[in-house]
Amino acid sequence: MLTPRRDFLRKAGAASLLAAGLTLPASAEPFPEPHPEPFSGPWDLTWPDRVTGRFRAVFDSPDVADGDAIFRAMVWCDNYKEAYGTPRSDMSPVLVLRHKGLRLALNDAMWKRFDFGKDSKVLTPDGKEWAVANPVLSSDPSAGEPFASYTLPNFIARGGIVLGCGVAFGEVVSRLKKADAVSDSVARQRALEALVPGVILQPSGVFAVLRAQEAGCKYIIAS
Protein backbone atom coordinates (compact mmCIF):
# COMPACT_ATOMS: atom_id res chain seq x y z
CA MET A 1 0.00 0.00 0.00
CA LEU A 2 1.35 3.45 -0.93
CA THR A 3 1.91 6.09 1.74
CA PRO A 4 0.09 9.46 1.20
CA ARG A 5 3.37 11.06 0.08
CA ARG A 6 4.20 8.29 -2.41
CA ASP A 7 0.61 8.33 -3.67
CA PHE A 8 0.88 12.08 -4.24
CA LEU A 9 4.19 11.74 -6.09
CA ARG A 10 2.77 8.91 -8.19
CA LYS A 11 -0.24 10.96 -9.19
CA ALA A 12 1.91 14.00 -9.89
CA GLY A 13 4.20 11.93 -12.10
CA ALA A 14 1.23 10.44 -13.93
CA ALA A 15 -0.22 13.89 -14.48
CA SER A 16 3.07 15.09 -16.00
CA LEU A 17 3.14 12.13 -18.37
CA LEU A 18 -0.46 12.66 -19.40
CA ALA A 19 0.29 16.29 -20.13
CA ALA A 20 3.05 15.10 -22.43
CA GLY A 21 0.68 12.69 -24.16
CA LEU A 22 2.12 9.61 -22.43
CA THR A 23 0.63 7.05 -20.05
CA LEU A 24 1.97 5.47 -16.89
CA PRO A 25 1.46 1.68 -16.46
CA ALA A 26 -0.70 0.82 -13.47
CA SER A 27 2.15 -1.11 -11.83
CA ALA A 28 4.84 1.54 -12.43
CA GLU A 29 6.68 2.90 -9.41
CA PRO A 30 8.49 6.11 -10.37
CA PHE A 31 10.42 6.11 -7.08
CA PRO A 32 11.22 2.44 -6.29
CA GLU A 33 12.46 1.50 -2.86
CA PRO A 34 16.06 0.20 -2.57
CA HIS A 35 16.36 -3.58 -2.82
CA PRO A 36 16.36 -5.26 0.63
CA GLU A 37 19.68 -6.32 2.10
CA PRO A 38 20.19 -10.13 1.93
CA PHE A 39 20.38 -12.29 5.04
CA SER A 40 23.71 -13.89 5.78
CA GLY A 41 23.53 -17.39 4.36
CA PRO A 42 24.89 -19.82 1.76
CA TRP A 43 24.06 -17.73 -1.31
CA ASP A 44 26.34 -15.20 -2.99
CA LEU A 45 24.03 -12.26 -3.68
CA THR A 46 26.70 -9.70 -4.47
CA TRP A 47 26.58 -10.24 -8.24
CA PRO A 48 23.88 -7.57 -8.89
CA ASP A 49 26.51 -4.99 -7.91
CA ARG A 50 28.33 -5.97 -11.11
CA VAL A 51 25.30 -5.32 -13.32
CA THR A 52 26.40 -1.77 -14.08
CA GLY A 53 26.49 -1.56 -17.88
CA ARG A 54 24.30 0.82 -19.82
CA PHE A 55 22.85 -2.18 -21.67
CA ARG A 56 21.64 -5.09 -19.54
CA ALA A 57 20.04 -8.41 -20.43
CA VAL A 58 19.32 -11.73 -18.74
CA PHE A 59 19.44 -14.87 -20.91
CA ASP A 60 17.25 -17.61 -19.45
CA SER A 61 18.45 -21.14 -20.29
CA PRO A 62 16.16 -23.88 -18.91
CA ASP A 63 17.59 -26.51 -21.27
CA VAL A 64 20.93 -27.53 -22.78
CA ALA A 65 19.91 -26.83 -26.39
CA ASP A 66 23.48 -27.34 -27.67
CA GLY A 67 24.64 -24.39 -25.56
CA ASP A 68 22.70 -21.85 -27.63
CA ALA A 69 22.25 -19.60 -24.59
CA ILE A 70 25.98 -18.88 -24.36
CA PHE A 71 26.07 -18.15 -28.09
CA ARG A 72 23.16 -15.72 -27.85
CA ALA A 73 24.54 -13.90 -24.84
CA MET A 74 27.94 -13.41 -26.46
CA VAL A 75 26.64 -12.53 -29.90
CA TRP A 76 24.44 -9.85 -28.30
CA CYS A 77 27.54 -8.13 -26.96
CA ASP A 78 29.33 -8.45 -30.31
CA ASN A 79 26.31 -7.17 -32.22
CA TYR A 80 26.15 -3.99 -30.15
CA LYS A 81 29.84 -3.40 -30.76
CA GLU A 82 29.34 -3.94 -34.49
CA ALA A 83 26.18 -1.83 -34.75
CA TYR A 84 26.94 0.97 -32.28
CA GLY A 85 30.61 0.68 -31.41
CA THR A 86 29.56 -0.13 -27.85
CA PRO A 87 32.51 -1.10 -25.62
CA ARG A 88 32.23 -4.35 -23.71
CA SER A 89 32.28 -2.40 -20.43
CA ASP A 90 28.87 -0.95 -21.33
CA MET A 91 27.32 -4.44 -21.65
CA SER A 92 26.01 -6.43 -18.69
CA PRO A 93 24.92 -9.90 -19.84
CA VAL A 94 23.57 -12.29 -17.20
CA LEU A 95 23.14 -15.97 -18.07
CA VAL A 96 20.87 -18.17 -15.93
CA LEU A 97 21.38 -21.94 -16.22
CA ARG A 98 18.39 -23.71 -14.70
CA HIS A 99 16.57 -27.03 -14.92
CA LYS A 100 18.53 -29.18 -17.42
CA GLY A 101 20.40 -26.09 -18.52
CA LEU A 102 22.50 -26.38 -15.36
CA ARG A 103 24.37 -29.23 -17.06
CA LEU A 104 26.19 -26.56 -19.07
CA ALA A 105 27.78 -25.48 -15.78
CA LEU A 106 29.28 -28.92 -15.11
CA ASN A 107 32.66 -30.26 -16.19
CA ASP A 108 33.40 -32.87 -18.86
CA ALA A 109 33.84 -35.66 -16.31
CA MET A 110 30.23 -35.26 -15.17
CA TRP A 111 29.00 -35.20 -18.76
CA LYS A 112 30.79 -38.42 -19.55
CA ARG A 113 29.86 -40.20 -16.36
CA PHE A 114 26.12 -39.50 -16.49
CA ASP A 115 25.60 -39.53 -20.28
CA PHE A 116 24.32 -35.95 -20.37
CA GLY A 117 25.00 -35.78 -24.09
CA LYS A 118 22.64 -38.64 -24.88
CA ASP A 119 20.01 -37.50 -22.41
CA SER A 120 20.12 -33.91 -23.70
CA LYS A 121 20.39 -34.94 -27.37
CA VAL A 122 23.76 -33.22 -27.86
CA LEU A 123 25.95 -34.62 -30.62
CA THR A 124 29.69 -34.39 -31.16
CA PRO A 125 30.81 -31.70 -33.66
CA ASP A 126 30.89 -34.27 -36.47
CA GLY A 127 27.29 -35.24 -35.67
CA LYS A 128 28.06 -38.96 -35.47
CA GLU A 129 27.91 -39.71 -31.73
CA TRP A 130 26.42 -38.42 -28.51
CA ALA A 131 28.65 -35.86 -26.84
CA VAL A 132 30.67 -37.06 -23.87
CA ALA A 133 31.90 -33.56 -23.00
CA ASN A 134 30.27 -30.25 -22.17
CA PRO A 135 29.86 -28.52 -25.58
CA VAL A 136 30.49 -25.00 -24.24
CA LEU A 137 33.68 -25.54 -22.24
CA SER A 138 36.23 -25.52 -25.07
CA SER A 139 36.58 -23.83 -28.43
CA ASP A 140 35.46 -25.53 -31.62
CA PRO A 141 37.85 -24.45 -34.41
CA SER A 142 35.37 -25.64 -37.01
CA ALA A 143 32.88 -23.02 -35.83
CA GLY A 144 34.97 -20.26 -37.36
CA GLU A 145 35.84 -16.90 -35.83
CA PRO A 146 34.48 -15.26 -33.78
CA PHE A 147 32.15 -18.13 -32.87
CA ALA A 148 35.00 -20.43 -31.85
CA SER A 149 35.56 -18.21 -28.82
CA TYR A 150 31.94 -18.48 -27.67
CA THR A 151 32.57 -20.65 -24.62
CA LEU A 152 31.39 -20.45 -21.04
CA PRO A 153 34.88 -19.75 -19.64
CA ASN A 154 35.40 -16.94 -22.17
CA PHE A 155 31.99 -15.49 -21.35
CA ILE A 156 32.91 -15.37 -17.66
CA ALA A 157 36.39 -14.02 -18.38
CA ARG A 158 34.87 -11.14 -20.34
CA GLY A 159 32.69 -10.09 -17.43
CA GLY A 160 29.58 -12.16 -18.09
CA ILE A 161 27.65 -13.27 -15.00
CA VAL A 162 26.58 -16.93 -14.90
CA LEU A 163 23.99 -18.01 -12.32
CA GLY A 164 23.15 -21.64 -11.58
CA CYS A 165 19.85 -22.95 -10.24
CA GLY A 166 20.24 -24.26 -6.69
CA VAL A 167 17.29 -26.62 -7.12
CA ALA A 168 18.81 -28.24 -10.22
CA PHE A 169 22.16 -28.36 -8.44
CA GLY A 170 20.46 -30.27 -5.62
CA GLU A 171 19.45 -32.90 -8.15
CA VAL A 172 23.09 -33.25 -9.18
CA VAL A 173 24.01 -33.73 -5.52
CA SER A 174 21.34 -36.44 -5.18
CA ARG A 175 22.62 -38.19 -8.29
CA LEU A 176 26.17 -38.25 -6.91
CA LYS A 177 25.00 -39.36 -3.47
CA LYS A 178 23.24 -42.37 -4.96
CA ALA A 179 25.96 -43.26 -7.48
CA ASP A 180 28.83 -42.97 -5.00
CA ALA A 181 26.98 -44.12 -1.86
CA VAL A 182 28.23 -41.13 0.13
CA SER A 183 26.76 -38.62 2.55
CA ASP A 184 24.97 -35.43 1.54
CA SER A 185 27.94 -33.29 2.50
CA VAL A 186 30.43 -35.38 0.52
CA ALA A 187 28.14 -35.49 -2.51
CA ARG A 188 27.65 -31.73 -2.36
CA GLN A 189 31.39 -31.11 -2.20
CA ARG A 190 31.95 -33.32 -5.23
CA ALA A 191 29.20 -31.50 -7.10
CA LEU A 192 30.77 -28.15 -6.23
CA GLU A 193 34.12 -29.38 -7.55
CA ALA A 194 32.39 -30.27 -10.83
CA LEU A 195 31.06 -26.73 -11.33
CA VAL A 196 32.74 -24.54 -13.92
CA PRO A 197 34.78 -21.90 -12.05
CA GLY A 198 32.93 -18.63 -11.85
CA VAL A 199 29.38 -20.04 -11.87
CA ILE A 200 27.38 -18.57 -8.98
CA LEU A 201 24.70 -20.76 -7.42
CA GLN A 202 21.38 -19.14 -6.50
CA PRO A 203 18.36 -20.42 -4.52
CA SER A 204 16.62 -21.23 -7.81
CA GLY A 205 16.72 -20.31 -11.47
CA VAL A 206 13.44 -18.42 -11.15
CA PHE A 207 14.92 -16.37 -8.30
CA ALA A 208 18.00 -15.61 -10.42
CA VAL A 209 16.02 -14.51 -13.49
CA LEU A 210 13.72 -12.22 -11.53
CA ARG A 211 16.58 -10.76 -9.48
CA ALA A 212 18.42 -9.95 -12.70
CA GLN A 213 15.33 -8.19 -14.02
CA GLU A 214 15.14 -6.19 -10.79
CA ALA A 215 18.74 -5.16 -11.49
CA GLY A 216 17.60 -3.67 -14.78
CA CYS A 217 18.10 -6.57 -17.21
CA LYS A 218 15.81 -7.11 -20.17
CA TYR A 219 14.58 -10.71 -20.39
CA ILE A 220 15.03 -13.18 -23.22
CA ILE A 221 14.43 -16.92 -23.29
CA ALA A 222 17.67 -18.29 -24.68
CA SER A 223 17.07 -22.01 -25.10
Domain boundaries, the chain: 56-221
pLDDT attached to residue 96: 98
For the entire predicted model, the pTM comes to: 0.83
Instruction: Classify domain 56-221 at the CATH class level.
Output: alpha beta
φ, ψ of residue 159 in degrees (nearest 5): 100, 0
pLDDT attached to residue 143: 61
Three-state SS sequence of 150-205? CCHHHHHHCCCEEEEEHHHHHHHHHHHHHHHCCCHHHHHHHHHHHECCCCEEECCH
**pLDDT single digits (tens) 143-161:** 666 678 899 999 999 999 9
* Separation CA 213–CA 94 (nearest Å): 10
- Number of neighbouring beta carbons within 10 Å of residue 73: 25
Average pLDDT over residues 122-141: 90
